[in-house]
Structure formats: structure tokens, C-alpha cells
């Protein structure tokens, strides 16, 4: 992993990116100081920029590795404070911690808590001095490398959930900042970007772009054994017949999250019925339950788009259907991607077709 | 908007989803506001009986603040939010905000040791707007369209019907009794010499098939 490694990992939600990243982190822990800041849960993915990501990650890393007393971190904390006008800067600086006294109520927030409390205000603050913030965050990462004795590796997970407009802003309009990132970085992004005309230009800013796709599970397929192992890890072995497990694996469309959702629902239904074994009807009803959300998420235009071959779908329609999981991007054995409808959605489409002649769809 | 099937779950399913379900966010879609209020009462009584936890009803505007301030108390809590209220603009803005903060909500709820659960209640008429404003939140939630009646299979559902019919026939053959006879014995509290596991399965099948005409 050379110094300027900037990896973009794209793939649809539920395909296993986070699991893969956790594995990468475990594998590289001895060589790098792994940083996994919770960017997607603290920053607003609708208005995110590389400066906010870098500054938050630096401050989070400083807290996680006990660097609060480092000079660069103290400087960053000062930058993150709410600016106050004063006529006597020297006195104000000397009395910084004594200027505000509050009695009662919650304590003053720490710099990291400010990100959670006042995300928009912090964003405004960073916008006023982007270069200053970038440089001080870079210094924090430099200090971290010295202290830990190994270079930091920043893993930013969860950005695939960004709205498409924000993804364009971050990955394309602000792409030049990717090259300037001061640490090795692996970042996830939405799959829908890969269908845009600007994706090629954006790719050049990363040292590599990796794409995770679902693997269509089939009998005796290595991916089936992966799902078998997943079921075993969840303690389901022996509770479900091989045939019923194969059915759940078929319905999961190669998406680990969908598989676990199906298995969890089937187990809940078995428990609810007072059964010690998951039976076929529990699996069938679990599939109905997991399909339930699609009935609300998909409208007539979505069903029309689903019925068309992929080459006839618009980019917008494809991106939307991939985002909600109604379409799944598979790894085609012949190489390259293949986009198909989710088997659970296919059931819904078949039902709509059969109900249409009776005037119910 | 797609055709809605009849409810695929009932009130008790929401309790089970809270106690044992695969996701920390459960979205229950009720027929109307009356059913929604009844579901709240059902949850209050049902959830603590399934898992050591309490049910706390909170206002929609409190949700994000509350997630930030969850303490690490010992008791697991099911937070119930009636998220149907307000005019269209208020509903859209609330659900859009939750959609953006979905990961924060999920992680806040799942923080050990308690692993709390959030139950969002919405009426069928508002669900179209909810699905439009919060598509990603729906993707990480268990969505249940519920009624007050337990689940019953319909004649349209061939695959499920076949499974129930086959299992029913197997049980009837094994014990030399019809389903009606067994259920009558149970209602009249007559002794039956059937293993508990099979008896529970038989009850499950009888309940699922109750809406169909007798064979």
C-alpha cells in the first residue's frame, strides 16, 4: 500500500462492503494505525465535503489514540471553537478557559461532541478557513504517525448511502481534494456513480476503484458455502433443513444483509409459532415480510422500469432501483457486471401480473 | 404506488419483531389511527412479556435528541413513536430528517449493553409519503403491515397453502385425527396425547388456514 493510496470501494447497500473493510482492517492492523471514524453517523451525508471528513477524522483519531495534549490537536480544538469578538485578544487568550462560566445544565461540549451537536455550525466554520483546517488536520495525522510508530490508514465507510447529488459534489466537483488527502485512505461510495458520465474523470483521482458485486448463489457454488457459513455462525445449522436453507440462499440474491434478514425473520416466525425448527412456511412468510417494504418503495414507474431490459432503463431509474435493492448487480461468470431484479421483487412482479387480469393491480 | 396486499402480520408480530426481530427499527403500518392506538396498548402489554424490557412512548420531535442522550441504564427499552401526525409538510420534513440520520439512529439504538428498539407507527394513508421521504430508512427497517387479527393464508397464496396443507395432512395421518377434532379437544380442554411440539405446529396450521372454506 504505497503512500498515496486512495481506494474507492463501490457497491450497493448490503453487498458486504463493511464486512470486507473490517477484514482488511484486521489484516493490516500490524502494519498501519487503522482509523475507522464514524463519519456516516456523525456528519450529514447530504452536505459532506472532504474538509469536514478530514477534520472530523483527525479529531476522532486524536481522541481514539490519546493525543489530546498534542500541540496540533490543541490548535485544531481552538479552530473548532465558536469565534468570539474581543477588543483585548491578549487578555482573552490568557483567560480563555475562564471567560465563560455556566452553572447547571449539561457541561460544555468537547470538540468531538460539537460535531454531533452543531454539525452545520462546524461545517460553516470549516468553510471560513478550509486551508487552515486542512493543514492542521494534516499535522494531527503526522503527529499520530510519530506517536504510533506506523502510518495511519483511514477507512471511511458508509458513504454509499449518500444522496446522488451529494455524491456528485463530493466525488466529482471536489475530486481534486482526494489526491491531496494526507493519509492512505479507503472510502466507500454509491454504486450509482458508476453509471454517470463523470465517473471516468473521477476514477483518475483514486489510485484504484474496487467494485463489490453480489455473487449469484447456486447449488454447489462457493458463494453458497459462504452463506452456509454465515447461517452456521448465526447458530442456524440444525434448525433449518438443507432444502429450506438453499431456498433462503436463492432469495437473498447474493446480498449477505438480505440473507440475514430472511433468516432472522424465519427464525422469529418459528419462535412465534412455538417451534424449535424453521419450517418451509416460516421461510415463505419471511420472504413475504422482507418483500413488504418494496411494496411501499416501488411505484408503477419503478415496476415499468423493472420489466424492461437493463439497456433500456434510464440511469436515474437504474440508480434508484439499485439503491432500494430492487435491482442487484451481480458478478457475471463471463466477467463484468450483470444487473437483474432481486428475486423477492420478481415474486412481487409476478403477483402483480397475475392480479392485473382480476383488476387488483 | 403498488397494490397493497392484505396485512401480512398482526399486532403480536410487532411484539415479536421488537423482542427477537433482525433489525433494531420496526416500522408498523396500521389501517387507521384507531388501530394504531390499539397497537400501542398491545405493545405496552406484550413486549415486556416476551423480553425483559419496557415500552416508552415518545413524541416524534424527541427522537433524534433522545438517541443522542441514551444512557447506559440496564433496562432495554422499546421506544414507540406515533409518526403519522402533523400536516404533509411536517411529516415530510420529519421523515426526511430521520432518513438522513438513519445510521445514527440505528447505531444509537444498538449501542451495547441494551440494544434498544425503535417502533415507528404510521397509518396506511400516510405510508406513501413516508416511503417517498425515507426510502433508505425503510431499507434498514422491518416493515410490517399489521392488523388486529392473526395471520391467515388466503386462497391466492398457492405456495404457502400447499405447505400448510401437506403438513396438516401429515399430522392428521400420524395421529388419526382431523384438525377440527384436535382443535375441539383443545377448546374443551380434553386430554390429548400428542407431543407439545406437534400440537403447537397443528395449532399454527389451524390458525393459518382458518379463513379458508373447509375441504
Walk me through the domains of chain B, giving residue ranges and CATH numbers: 9-147 (3.40.50.300), 158-208 (no CATH)
Are A181 and A5 spatial neighbours (Cβ–Cβ below 8 Å)? no
Q: Average pLDDT over chain B, rounded to whole?
A: 88
Per-residue pLDDT band at B2 (split at 50, 70, 90): very low
* A178–chain B Cβ distance below 8 A for any pair: no
**Is the per-residue pLDDT at B75 higher than 90?**
no
What pLDDT does A348 receive? 86
Instruction: Give the best residue of A230, A274, A296, A355 to mutate against chain B (max B CB count within 10 A).
Output: A296
Among candidates A241, A219, A221, A216, which has minimal Cα distance to A231? A241
Per-residue pLDDT band at A30 (split at 50, 70, 90): very high
Strand partners, B53: B76
Q: Looking at beta carbons, which residues of chain A come within 8 Å of B22? A: 260-261, 263-265, 268
**Distance between CA B207 and CA B203 in Å, rounded?**
6
DSSP state, A173? I
Q: How far apart are the first and last CA of chain A?
A: 54
Check whether residue A90 and residue A185 sit in a common domain.
yes
**Is the per-residue pLDDT at A77 higher than 90?**
yes
SS3 A186: strand
How many CB atoms within 10 Å of residue A316? 12
Concatenated DSSP letters of chain B: -PPPPSPSEEHHHHHHHHHH-SSSEEEEEESSHHHHHHHHHHHHHHHHHHSSEEEEEE-GGGHHHHHHT----SSEEEEEEE---S-HHHHHHHHHHHHHTHHHHHHHHH-TTT--EEEEEEEHHHHHHHHHH-HHHHHTSEEEEEESSPP---TT-HHHHHHHHHHHHHHHHHHT--HHHHHHHHHTT----S-HHHHHHHHHHHHHTTTSPP-
Check whether residue A135 and residue A158 sit in a common domain.
yes
Cα four-point dihedral sign B66, B78, A344, A278: positive
Check whether residue A148 and residue A274 sit in a common domain.
no
On the question of a cis peptide bond just before residue B113, with omega within 30 degrees of 0, the verdict is yes
DSSP state, A326? S
Q: What angle do CA A86, A88, A91 make, to 5 degrees?
A: 115
What pLDDT does A352 receive? 77
Q: What is the pLDDT of residues A272-299, one digit of tens each?
A: 888 889 999 999 999 999 999 999 999 8
Distance from CA of B64 to the nearest CA of A (A): 11
**Last-in-domain residue among A153, A176, A211:** A211
Q: What is the pLDDT of residues B149-170, one digit of tens each?
A: 888 888 888 889 999 999 999 9
What pLDDT does B149 receive? 87
Q: What is the pLDDT of residues A184-209, one digit of tens each?
A: 999 999 988 988 889 999 998 999 99
Distance from CA of A93 to the nearest CA of B (A): 32
Check whether residue A201 and residue A233 sit in a common domain.
no
Number of domains in chain A: 2
Determine, for residues A325 and B139 on separate chains, whether the beta-carbon distance falls below 8 Å.
Answer: yes
Check whether residue A47 and residue A140 sit in a common domain.
yes
Check whether residue A113 and residue A167 sit in a common domain.
yes
SS3 A286: helix
**Last-in-domain residue among A191, A211, A231:** A211
What pLDDT does A332 receive? 77
**Last-in-domain residue among A211, A230, A246:** A211
**Distance between CA A193 and CA B5 in Å, rounded?**
34
* A268–chain B Cβ distance below 8 A for any pair: yes
Check whether residue A80 and residue A24 sit in a common domain.
yes
**Is the per-residue pLDDT at A360 higher than 50?**
no
Q: How far is CA A233 from CA A226, A259, B107, in A?
A: 10, 13, 22
Check whether residue A181 and residue A233 sit in a common domain.
no
Determine, for residues A348 and B2 on separate chains, whether the beta-carbon distance falls below 8 Å.
Answer: yes
Estimate the share of chain A in helix, then strand, then coil, as percent rounded to the nearest 5: 60, 10, 30
**Distance between CA B208 and CA A344 in Å, rounded?**
22
Check whether residue A59 and residue A144 sit in a common domain.
yes
Determine, for residues B139 and A13 on separate chains, whether the beta-carbon distance falls below 8 Å.
Answer: yes
What pLDDT does B14 receive? 95
Strand order in the sheet with A33-35: A33-35, A152-156, A184-189, A6-10, A208-211
Instruction: Give the best residue of A15, A40, A281, A342 to mutate against chain B (max B CB count within 10 A).
Output: A281
Among candidates B10, B49, B169, which has minimal Cα distance to A269? B10
What pLDDT does B157 receive? 85
Give the A:B interface size as CB pairs under 8 Å: 120
Check whether residue A32 and residue A151 sit in a common domain.
yes
SS3 A317: helix
Look up the CATH number of the domain holding residue A185: 3.40.50
Q: Is residue A1 part of a domain?
A: no
Concatenated DSSP letters of A125-172: HHHHTHHHHHHHHHHHHHHHHHHHSS-EEEEE--GGGS-HHHHHIIII
Are A64 and A35 spatial neighbours (Cβ–Cβ below 8 Å)? yes
Q: Is residue A122 part of a domain?
A: yes
Structure-model confidence comparison of residues A354 and B89, the more confident one: B89
Check whether residue A206 and residue A326 sit in a common domain.
no
Check whether residue A228 and residue A195 sit in a common domain.
no
Instruction: Give the best residue of A160, A247, A297, A349 to mutate against chain B (max B CB count within 10 A).
Output: A297
Are A301 and A320 spatial neighbours (Cβ–Cβ below 8 Å)? no
Q: What angle do CA A303, A350, A305 make, to 5 degrees?
A: 20
Q: Is residue A196 part of a domain?
A: yes
Specify the residue for cell string 494531527.
Answer: A140
Distance from CA of B49 to the nearest CA of A (A): 13
Q: Is residue A216 part of a domain?
A: no
pTM of the model: 0.83
- Which H or E run includes A338? strand A337-341
Determine, for residues A274 and B12 on separate chains, whether the beta-carbon distance falls below 8 Å.
Answer: no
How many CB atoms within 10 Å of residue A358? 8
For A283, the closest chain B residue by CA position comes to: B160
Q: What is the pLDDT of residues B17-50, one digit of tens each?
A: 998 888 999 999 999 999 999 999 999 999 999 8
All cell numbers assigned to B174: 400420524
Q: Looking at beta carbons, which residues of chain A come within 8 Å of B13? A: 272
Q: Is residue A179 part of a domain?
A: yes
Q: Looking at beta carbons, which residues of chain B come within 8 Å of A325? A: 139
* Structural domain of A345: 222-358
Q: Is residue A217 part of a domain?
A: no
Angle between helices A222-233 and A242-251 (to 10 degrees): 110
Instruction: Give the best residue of B14, B22, B25, B64 to mutate against chain A (max A CB count within 10 A).
Output: B22
**Is the per-residue pLDDT at A361 higher than 50?**
no
The shortest CB-CB distance from B21 to any of A268, A288, A300 is to A268
Q: Is residue A80 part of a domain?
A: yes
Amino acid at each position: 500500500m504505497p503512500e498515496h493510496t486512495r481506494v474507492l470501494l463501490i457497491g450497493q447497500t448490503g453487498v458486504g462492503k463493511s464486512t470486507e473493510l473490517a477484514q482488511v482492517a484486521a489484516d493490516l492492523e500490524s502494519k498501519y494505525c487503522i482509523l475507522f471514524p464514524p463519519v456516516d453517523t456523525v456528519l450529514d451525508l447530504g452536505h459532506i465535503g472532504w474538509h469536514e471528513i478530514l477534520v472530523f477524522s483527525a479529531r476522532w483519531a486524536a481522541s481514539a489514540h490519546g493525543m489530546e495534549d498534542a500541540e496540533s490537536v490543541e490548535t485544531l480544538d481552538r479552530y473548532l471553537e465558536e469565534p468570539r469578538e474581543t477588543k483585548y485578544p491578549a487578555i482573552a487568550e490568557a483567560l480563555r478557559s475562564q471567560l465563560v462560566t455556566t452553572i447547571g445544565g449539561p457541561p460544555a461540549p468537547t470538540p468531538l461532541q460539537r460535531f454531533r451537536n452543531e454539525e452545520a455550525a462546524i461545517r460553516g466554520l470549516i468553510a471560513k478557513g478550509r486551508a487552515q483546517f486542512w493543514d492542521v488536520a494534516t499535522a494531527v495525522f503526522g503527529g499520530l504517525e510519530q506517536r504510533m510508530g506506523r502510518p495511519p490508514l483511514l477507512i471511511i465507510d458508509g458513504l454509499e448511502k449518500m444522496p446522488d447529488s451529494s455524491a456528485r459534489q463530493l466525488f466529482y466537483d471536489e475530486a481534486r481534494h482526494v489526491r491531496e488527502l494526507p493519509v492512505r485512505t479507503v472510502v466507500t461510495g454509491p454504486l450509482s456513480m458508476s453509471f454517470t458520465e463523470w465517473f471516468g474523470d473521477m476514477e483518475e483521482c483514486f489510485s484504484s476503484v474496487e467494485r463489490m458485486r453480489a455473487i449469484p448463489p447456486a447449488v454447489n457454488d462457493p458463494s453458497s458455502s459462504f452463506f452456509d457459513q454465515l447461517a452456521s455462525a448465526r447458530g442456524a445449522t440444525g434448525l433449518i433443513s438443507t432444502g429450506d436453507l438453499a431456498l433462503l440462499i436463492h432469495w437473498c440474491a447474493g446480498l449477505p444483509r438480505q440473507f440475514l434478514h430472511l433468516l432472522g425473520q424465519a427464525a422469529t416466525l418459528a419462535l412465534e409459532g412455538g417451534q424449535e425448527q424453521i419450517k418451509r412456511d416460516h421461510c415463505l412468510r419471511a420472504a413475504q415480510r422482507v418483500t413488504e417494504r418494496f411494496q411501499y418503495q416501488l411505484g408503477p414507474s419503478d415496476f415499468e422500469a423493472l420489466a424492461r431490459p437493463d439497456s433500456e432503463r434510464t440511469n436515474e431509474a437504474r440508480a434508484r432501483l439499485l439503491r432500494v435493492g430492487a435491482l442487484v448487480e451481480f458478478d457475471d461468470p463471463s466477467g463484468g457486471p450483470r444487473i437483474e431484479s432481486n428475486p423477492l421483487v420478481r415474486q412481487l412482479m409476478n403477483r402483480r401480473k397475475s392480479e392485473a387480469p382480476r383488476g387488483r393491480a | 404506488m403498488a397494490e397493497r396486499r392484505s396485512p401480512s402480520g398482526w399486532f403480536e408480530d410487532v411484539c415479536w419483531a421488537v423482542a427477537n426481530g433482525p433489525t433494531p427499527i420496526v416500522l408498523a403500518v396500521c389501517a387507521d389511527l384507531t388501530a394504531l392506538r390499539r397497537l400501542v396498548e398491545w405493545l405496552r402489554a406484550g413486549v415486556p412479556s416476551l423480553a425483559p424490557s419496557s415500552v416508552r412512548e415518545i413524541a416524534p420531535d424527541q427522537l433524534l435528541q433522545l438517541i443522542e442522550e441514551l444512557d447506559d441504564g440496564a433496562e432495554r427499552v422499546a421506544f414507540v413513536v406515533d409518526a403519522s401526525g402533523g400536516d404533509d409538510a411536517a411529516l415530510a420534513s420529519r421523515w426526511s430528517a430521520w432518513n438522513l440520520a438513519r445510521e445514527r439512529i440505528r447505531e444509537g439504538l444498538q449501542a451495547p449493553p441494551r440494544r434498544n428498539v425503535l417502533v415507528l407507527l404510521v397509518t396506511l394513508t400516510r405510508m406513501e409519503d413516508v416511503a417517498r421521504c425515507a426510502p433508505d430508512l425503510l431499507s434498514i427497517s422491518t416493515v410490517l403491515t399489521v392488523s388486529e387479527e392473526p395471520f391467515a393464508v388466503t386462497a391466492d397464496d398457492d405456495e404457502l397453502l400447499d405447505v400448510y396443507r401437506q403438513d396438516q395432512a401429515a399430522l392428521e395421518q400420524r395421529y388419526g385425527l382431523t384438525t377440527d377434532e384436535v382443535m375441539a379437544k383443545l377448546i374443551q380442554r380434553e386430554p390429548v396425547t400428542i407431543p407439545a411440539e406437534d400440537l403447537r405446529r397443528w395449532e399454527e396450521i389451524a390458525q393459518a388456514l382458518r379463513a379458508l372454506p373447509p375441504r
